Chains A and B, each alone.
Chain A
Amino acid sequence: DVKVTQSSRYLVKRTGEKVFLECVQDMDHENMFWYRQDPGLGLRLIYFSYDVKMKEKGDIPEGYSVSREKKERFSLILESASTNQTSMYLCASSLWDRERYGYTFGSGTRLTVV
C-alpha cells in the first residue's frame, strides 16, 4: 500500500525553538505539499515542491521554510516556533501527470507550541 509517513503524530515545542517536521513518501511522486489545518479555516497551503531542491510558496509561508534534498522527503521547518503556529500539519504528495487525481496524505502532526 502506498504511504506518506509523517515522523511524529504529536509534538510539543517551546516558543523560539527550531522545529523540523518530516514527511516521507514511497510512491516516487514528484509533487509534495505541506498544509496546516485549523478549525473553521480548513487546510491552507504553506509550501509545495515539484522536484528535488525546488520549492514554491503557498498561501501562508510566513514563519516557515522547507527542504527537499531527496525526492521522497519533504521537510517543513519552523525557524523560531511561536504559539500561533500551534496547529495540525498535513503532508501530501501527488504524481505530476495525474492531474485529475487527488493527493495521498499523511496522518498529520499535531504541533503544540508553549
Chain B
Amino acid sequence: AQTVTQSQPEMSVQEAETVTLSCTYDTSESDYYLFWYKQPPSRQMILVIRQEAYKQQNATENRFSVNFQKAAKSFSLKISDSQLGDAAMYFCAYRSADGGTSYGKLTFGQGTILTVHP
C-alpha cells in the first residue's frame, strides 16, 4: 500500500517570502499522480497543483511550484511571494495511475499548517 508522509506539522513564513513544504511517499508503482491540496478555514479543499510521475518537468502554477524527485520519492511544494491568503492547511496526496483497481483513490499525508505573518 502507498503511504504519504508530511513531516512538518506546522510552518510559518513572512508575507512576500518563499516557503517550501515537504512531502515524501512510498510506492512500488512507476506511474502515478501527485497532488497538493489547500484547505483554508472555510474547509473547502482546493487543488493547488498536480504532477504526473512520467513527466520529468516540475509542475508550476503561478506562485506555486513543485520539486519532484522520483528516485527519492519526494514531492515538495514551493510557494513564492507568500500572501496572507495562502494561510491554510496543505495536504500532499498520491493517486495510482492504475484506474482499474484503484478507482482513483487518493492517499493523503498528515497535513502541514501554514501561517503567513504580515
**B contact residues vs A (CB 8 Å cutoff):** 4, 6, 9, 33, 35, 37, 42-45, 47, 50, 52, 91, 93, 95, 97, 99, 103-111
Which segment, of A18-26, A39-47, A67-75, A78-86, faces chain B?
A: A39-47
**A contact residues vs B (CB 8 Å cutoff):** 31, 33, 35, 40-45, 48, 50, 56, 58, 88, 90, 92, 94, 96-97, 99-103, 105, 107-108
Q: CB < 8 Å: which of A43, A48, A88, A100 contacts B50?
A: A100
Q: CB < 8 Å: which of A44, A50, A96, A108 contacts B43?
A: A108
Q: Are B111 and A88 in contact (CB under 8 A)?
A: no
Q: CB < 8 Å: which of B6, B9, B43, B50 contacts A102?
A: B50
Nearest CB to that of B44 among chain A residues? A107
In the assembled complex, the Cα of A35 lies from the Cα of B93 at a distance in Å of: 13
Nearest CB to that of A31 among chain B residues? B104
Rounded to whole Å, the gap between the CB of B54 and the closest CB of chain A is 10
In the assembled complex, the Cα of A10 lies from the Cα of B78 at a distance in Å of: 33
